[in-house]
Amino acid sequence: MLSDVVTLTQELIAIDTSNYGDSSETVGEAAAADYCAERLREAGWDPEVIVTSSDRRRAVVLRVPGTDPQAPGLLVHGHLDVVPAISSEWSKPAFGGVIEDGFIWGRGAVDMKDMDAMMLAVMREWGRSGYRPRRDMVFAFLPDEEAGSVHGSHWLAENRPELFAGITQAIGEVGGFSITINDDLRLYPIQTAEKGMKWMRLRAASRAGHGSMIHHDNSVTQLAQAVTRIGEHQWPIHKTPTVQRFLDELSIAFNVDVSDVSSDELHRRLGNLSYLVGATMQNTANPTVLKAGYKTNVIPTESFAEIDCRFLPGQEEELESTIRTLVGDGIDIDVINHGIAIEAPLDTQLFEIMASALRAEDEKARAVPYMISGGTDAKAFAGLDIECYGFSPLRMPEGLDYWRLFHGVDECVPIEGLEFGVRVLDRFLRAC
């Protein structure tokens, strides 16, 4: 039954899948994968549990054959890992899955064990009823998204691409949530694009020396100047088709022209809603890590900085050349993590099916495309020529800031919104 979704969400949250990267503390993903596989087996399915880079990192993949073998397939994916939580900061148990005030509380409630539970609930209903969709569907429960997906979606795309044979479209996280505009309108942003990622490490080198002497060649000074130039740089505005469409929709919804305003002005007019837009109209480069020296009276030989760079679709070359110019001569640049930018077609039958499924459950719903500034598992699947969308439907209470729940303290998901979401997901998949 689709009503399983509440219990499934609670039980998934109770499995601590905190992702500490390659640390031995990262252990919960395997237990969560086994849990998902067992819940699917209970409904008659035979999922494959896949050990990726080590036994601690496991994925679960299930292909459901469609009734039309000529139809292209659809991938539905969710990640099982979560960012760590400092329990002392929470008012509820971070991994308790507690129900209180109409919400389920705990790490992963919206990122993204709610969607994992919705996927399980739909598949359990289909397994028990014998329903089969028109097109092949692959359901994937993945590890390691919160640390770059190296041991999850990227590993599967590189080592088990046959799992996704015939798949042309996919849905995953960060889309389909509601934003109440007024009594007659709720926007449901659907992710059709995401920025690319290029994390860079800067290295400045100089001759070591005594801190009491005059030094015109100091790696710390050289690096600090470069970091300051990067942090203060004003990037030019570029509007991709997704962002332009979202701005147009916002202009209609608010009856205010927001298509040609700066990010600051957009925030003034739209409040927190502007966070969906501001960083998606330009490349960004934020210094995040500085490392230099070991003793106050020693000029260090090397100094390092790390920069979180994000680029728009089609703007990676501009990002690289600008960073090189800002850094200047004498500083080495290494790329330590890279992910492509993606942008899926806007006017597709799949998008309209999503919109229709939302309207069927909420007559005030209006689906709109948007871009996220972060990254998801979609990057790995886009590399297999799969069109990727973010659609994990959720009805949010008016005034609750969806974005601040991600990676935040006291993360929670509304039960009514969750039950709404599983109905929408089931309706959408059946219509595909």
Spatial distance between the Cα atoms of 247 and 237, rounded to a whole number of angstroms: 13
For the chain, how many structural domains are there in total?
2
Which CATH number is 71's domain given? 3.40.630.10
Q: What is the pLDDT of residue 298?
A: 83
Q: What is the pLDDT of residue 212?
A: 75
**Could you tell me the pLDDT band of residue 335, with boundaries at 50, 70 and 90?**
very high
| Same-domain pairing of 177 and 36 | yes
Mean pLDDT over 5-28 rounds to: 93
| Same-domain pairing of 267 and 310 | yes
Spatial distance between the Cα atoms of 205 and 201, rounded to a whole number of angstroms: 13
| Same-domain pairing of 52 and 151 | yes
Both structure tokens of 244: 């332009």
| Same-domain pairing of 321 and 181 | no
Mean pLDDT over 6-31 rounds to: 94
Q: What is the pLDDT of residue 55?
A: 86
Q: What is the pLDDT of residue 339?
A: 92
Query: What is the dihedral sign for C-alpha 132, 137, 138, 141?
Result: negative
Question: Are 278 and 267 a contacting pair, CB within 8 Å?
Answer: yes
**Could you tell me the pLDDT band of residue 291, with boundaries at 50, 70 and 90?**
very high
**Could you tell me the pLDDT band of residue 269, with boundaries at 50, 70 and 90?**
low
Domain boundary among 306, 336, 366: 336
Question: Are 358 and 426 a contacting pair, CB within 8 Å?
Answer: no
Q: What is the pLDDT of residue 262?
A: 66
* pLDDT tens column, 113-125: 999 999 999 999 9
* pLDDT tens column, 106-162: 999 999 999 999 999 999 999 999 999 999 999 999 999 998 899 999 999 999 999
Catalogue the E-assigned strands of 195-266: 196-205, 209-210
Query: What is the dihedral sign for C-alpha 109, 112, 115, 120?
Result: negative
Q: What is the pLDDT of residue 191?
A: 96
Question: Are 110 and 15 a contacting pair, CB within 8 Å?
Answer: no
Spatial distance between the Cα atoms of 251 and 249, rounded to a whole number of angstroms: 5
| Residue 27 clears pLDDT 70, i.e. is over it | yes
* pLDDT tens column, 417-431: 999 999 999 999 999
Domain boundary among 305, 336, 367: 336
Which CATH number is 315's domain given? 3.30.70.360
pTM: 0.93
Spatial distance between the Cα atoms of 62 and 74, rounded to a whole number of angstroms: 12
The DSSP-derived string for 306-325 is EEEEEE-TT-HHHHHHHHHH
List for the chain the helix, strand, coil content (%; round to 5).
35, 25, 40
Ranges 79-93, 279-293, 401-415: which has the least confidence = 401-415
Ranges 27-36, 50-59, 214-223, 391-400: which has the least confidence = 214-223
| Same-domain pairing of 187 and 201 | no
| Residue 393 clears pLDDT 90, i.e. is over it | yes
| Same-domain pairing of 332 and 345 | no
Structural domain that includes position 35 = 2-191+341-431
Domain boundary among 336, 362, 379: 336
User: Which stretch of DSSP H or E encloses residue 427?
Assistant: helix 415-431
Q: At what angle do helices 113-129 and 415-431 cross, to 10 degrees?
A: 50
Contacts of 209 (CB under 8 A, 6+ apart): 215, 298, 299
| Same-domain pairing of 151 and 96 | yes
Question: Are 380 and 156 a contacting pair, CB within 8 Å?
Answer: yes
Q: How far apart are the first and last CA of the chain?
A: 20
Determine the Cα angle at 347 with ends 343 and 350, to 5°. Answer: 90
Q: What is the pLDDT of residue 26?
A: 87
Q: What is the pLDDT of residue 128?
A: 96
| Same-domain pairing of 324 and 245 | yes
Percent of the chain at pLDDT > 70 equals 96
* pLDDT tens column, 249-268: 988 988 877 766 666 666 67
| Same-domain pairing of 126 and 12 | yes
Among 90, 123, 109, which residue's Cα sits nearest to residue 12? 109
Question: Are 6 and 418 a contacting pair, CB within 8 Å?
Answer: yes
Spatial distance between the Cα atoms of 234 and 225, rounded to a whole number of angstroms: 16
| Same-domain pairing of 53 and 153 | yes
| Same-domain pairing of 286 and 310 | yes
Ranges 66-80, 270-284, 296-310, 335-349: which has the least confidence = 270-284
Q: What is the pLDDT of residue 230?
A: 98
Q: What is the pLDDT of residue 217?
A: 83
| Residue 227 clears pLDDT 90, i.e. is over it | yes
| Same-domain pairing of 402 and 371 | yes
Spatial distance between the Cα atoms of 280 and 101, rounded to a whole number of angstroms: 35
* pLDDT tens column, 185-216: 999 999 999 999 999 999 999 887 766 777 77
State whether residue 374 is helix, strand or coil. Answer: coil
